[in-house]
Every structure is written in C-alpha cells, then in structure tokens.
Amino acid sequence: MESSTVSAPPQDSAPSLSLPFDPLPQFRQGALEETPERAGNLGKRIGILIVAYNALTTLRQVLKRITPEVWRNVEQVVVFDDASPDATFELAVGIQAMTNLPKLRVLKHRENLGYGGNQKAGYRYFIEQGFDVVVLLHGDGQYAPELLSHMYAPLVRGEADAVFGSRMMKDFGGPLKGGMPLYKYLGNRLLTEFENRALGLNLTEFHSGYRAYNLHALSQIRLDNLTDNFHFDTEIIIKLHHQNFRILEVPIPTFYGDEICYVNGLKYAKAIVRAVYRYTETSRAVRSYPEYEEYFVPYPIKRSLYSSHYYAHRLIGKNQRVLEIGCGDGAFGAELVRAGNSVTGLDRSPKVLPETGYDNVLDSDLESGLGASLDAVPDFDRIVVLDVLEHLREPANLLRDLRTRLAFRGKIIVSVPNAVNLTVRLMVLFGRFNYSDRGILDWSHLRFFTRKSIQALLENNGYRVAARHYTIIPMERVIPIRPENRFLRFANRVLHIVTRLFPGLLAYEVVLVAGR
C-alpha cells in the first residue's frame, strides 16, 4: 500500500501555540524519575512510531505526555495514521503546523493497512532513514508516553535487541489495579503461558503493544509475510526468539479508559494459537508456512530414535575418513567432525560454513557422478549417501563412481524413503497421491524405492549389502512433541519393534550398509 506524507506549510513567523508537558497525575508525584542520563541517545538515532487509528480524542494528549528530555533526544516522532475515517490526520497536521515541534512528522496511508501492516510500514520507514532505535507507541493513550526513555534506554546502552513493556510486572500496581478487565487479564495470562511453553520463553506478557526495537536487529527479520492483523506482535516475538535476539521486559502501568477496542478476543486467541502452531510446524520441518518460510529446512538432522541419522552416527563411529554426499549446510557433517572423524563434503552448491570443520567441501553435479572432483583426495572408510539417490534421474552413475572411492574394507551407508510405506498405501487407497515439501512424497523426488529395489540397485552396481536397517515413522512430525520427550521415546521403541516385524509395510526409510 502507498502512503502520502503531509507536512505543515512554511510559517512566516514562529508558531503561536505550544504543547506543554502534561503527564498523568500518577507521574507528577515523583514516580516518573526522568533523568537526562536515561533519556540520552548516546549518539544513536531514535525514532518514535505512533500508530494511530481513530485517535482524534487522544492523540494530542499522547504528544503532551512525552517528556521534554525525550523530545530533546529523539530525532523524529512520526504519526502513522492508518486511514482513519475520523479527523485524526487533520488533527495531527494541525498540531504539527501550530506548535514548535520540528521533530514531529505526520503520514497517512491511503488505505487501511491493519495494525500489523501499519507497524511494518513504520519500521520500513525508520530502517530506510538509517535510524538505530524505534519505539512503538499507540495513539490511543493505552501506553504511557512518560516512560519512553525506559523503553529505549536498554537499546541505546546495547543491553538488548528488543524491549517489551509488561503490564504484568508489579512495579506500577499490576494490571487489575490499572483497570484491566478480569476476563482480559485471565486470557492474557493463559495465552502467555501457552506461548512460553510452546516457544521455550519466560516472558511475563506477550500481548503488550508497548515495544522498542534495535533497528539493525529488526532489519534482519523478514516482515513481509507476517500478518497485518493484531497477532503481528506475537509473530514478531517468535521471529526474534528464533533468531536468538535478546528480549528484555520493563514494567509499565496499565491504562484502561474509554478508548475503543478493535480486537475480538476469541478471534485473537485463535490467531495466536494458529501462529504458534504454524511456526512449530515450519521450524520442525513438517510443513512450510509463508510467514516463517525462511526457517524451513527440507532435510534437517533427524534427532529421534531409529531415524536415518541415528543409524548413520552409529555405523560411522569415530576416527574415520568420511565422504558425505549431499552435505547441504554441513549440519550433520559438523556432528561427525565433533565425533573425531575427518569429513569431506560433496554437493551441488554446498552451503557449508568454515567453522563446521570439514577437511574439504566440493561442488559437484551429482547427476553425472563424481567426475574429477575427488581425484586428489585419498579413498574413504565411510561414504554416506543419505536422502540423495531419490533426487537423481540416474543414481547408478553416482553409485558406480563411489564404489571406486571406498578404501579397503570401507562401507557405504545409503538411505532412501520407502515408497510403499503404510501412509502412502493408504493415500493411494483413497485415490490421493499428494506431493509435499518433504517426506516420502517430496516434490523433488525423481525416483521411488522399496527395500528390495534399492538393494537390487546396489548389487547391480557391484556392492555387497552387509546390513539392513529400517527407520520408523517419525511421530514427532505428527504430534508436536520434542524428540527427547519420554513418552515419544517409549512410543518410538515400541514402533521400532513392530517395524522390524513388518519392514515393507512400516519402514519409513531403508538404510543399507554395503561394501565392495
């Protein structure tokens, strides 16, 4: 959406009106304790983003409650009016024109962007202008402008990447004393507890709209696909946490007056649960959702019992010369290095970082075999080909070349999905054959194998199969439980026993160990 910027026309003389500091009564009794040291910008460019919608009756007072020290230290206070049908924009332009506030700017969106959309537009504005810090303030007066320096001071001092005002902290008497309705208080606490448990956080409140951000950190977060609705605040917390940015909470008072609430509580709660669910599904590589798609890893390390990586770890052991085909980002190879192995990675356009500890990382078109990529490298004790062959049109080319690079008594470890797993059979039974982002029916799979056909492929290319292992259906992809959960580990052990009895039906992947 486009936005237009309107500023006051040039004045022939100094403005005739002033906008004096007018804090609420509770801040006139020494509770504010504003200091030049805390309000100081330490050379940082600080912006205040005021999101406003139908704030005609409150916006002027919000501006008057900003302390003089803050006005002296921030570079811009920008009102982003979200296409209000009332005269919010005209009021803000009038204040800008008639008062001595050169730092005040006023912008209005031509179309309503929504609560999240308005924030995204504001953050882009300050990032593009090269600011260091931004504080989000609401134009309805629900959050205390008197405490702006409390919000941005930790960012200026480098103590955090994001600061959230919390009404649940007791320094200002707590939310109920501030007039928060009991049902909203209980809903807030219940949702916060759910979010903390699901995300591994320990925040006192997820749902305060009083926030400050280090814009250099915020610029590293993709905002485009985040919601334009009210649960934007939760989605941005999820992204901050995922990317390991530091979050700090500071106490703020609770204000509930006669402002209009545009949030449907039940719809909001449902959106919060949905946002957390979509993140956990994406981060666990079950399914990719657009708002978190950058966190989706098609082939992450499988941490559960009896997975292909579980078997590969044990079959490789320690102190081996290892060739990893399809090394990707090097996550699994790095674990092999830490176990004492010397690892060479081979892939098309590998993304292995230097700190992973690989001996060599080589770029090769696996479709045509090894070529001359390994001519100068000694033979290998273990060659690992996990989840690779099903992506090749002619996997025999690669297998023939790999056989020549096995050291004496060397072993190749191969894993492929079992194309006739029970889940696929049931899908076909009901007339479906749907591809997905990962799994047995990954959209990038070009070949499909059974336990007999993959063994035949190896034997036809000169290998002798020495051992067979079968991975279990990954229950953690169906049930949102962490791999270390006791119930899941017990269930996996039971499923392992059953899978060994009926491998053709229940095996999720087939893991074969072969030599020359």
Element housing 282 (H / E): helix 265-283
Q: Tell me the β-bridge partners of 104.
A: 77
CA 12 to chain centre: 51
pLDDT at 7: 43
Query: pLDDT tens digit string along 438-466?
Result: 789 989 999 999 999 999 999 999 999 99
Angle between the N-to-C axes of helices 114-128 and 232-242, in degrees from 0 to 180, rounded to the nearest 10: 50
What does pLDDT average to over the chain?
90
Instruction: Write the burial class of residue 252 (CB in 10 Å: 0-12 exposed, 13-18 middle, 19+ buried).
Output: buried
pLDDT at 439: 85
pLDDT at 192: 95
Pairing relationship of beta strands 104-109 and 76-81 according to DSSP bridges: parallel
Its CATH architecture, for the domain 308-515, is 3-Layer(aba) Sandwich (3.40)
Q: Are 136 and 119 in contact (CB under 8 A)?
A: yes
pLDDT at 261: 57
CA distances from 411 to 124, 385, 415, 462 (A): 54, 11, 13, 13
Matching fold, domains 35-266 and 308-515: no
* Domain layout of the chain by residue ranges: 35-266, 308-515
Query: pLDDT tens digit string along 341-365?
Result: 999 999 988 989 888 999 999 998 8
Q: How confident is the model at residue 63 (pLDDT cuts 50, 70, 90)?
A: very high
Which residue shows structure tokens 């797993």?
421
Domain 35-266, CATH class in plain words: alpha beta
Alpha carbons 348 and 209: distance in angstroms, whole number: 45
Query: pLDDT tens digit string along 106-119?
Result: 999 999 999 999 99
For the record, the structure tokens of 427 come out as 């899908």
Amino acid at 367: E
* Helix ranges (DSSP H) in 88-231: 88-98, 114-128, 148-156, 182-199, 215-218
Whether 9 shows a pLDDT value over 90: the answer reads no
Which residue shows structure tokens 């320690």?
318
- Give the global pTM: 0.76
Pairing relationship of beta strands 342-347 and 321-325 according to DSSP bridges: parallel
> Span 60-68, mean pLDDT?
94
Query: pLDDT tens digit string along 44-54?
Result: 999 999 999 99
Query: pLDDT tens digit string along 501-513?
Result: 999 999 999 999 9
pLDDT at 125: 97
pLDDT at 262: 59
Query: pLDDT tens digit string along 244-275?
Result: 999 999 999 987 655 555 567 789 999 999 99
pLDDT at 503: 95
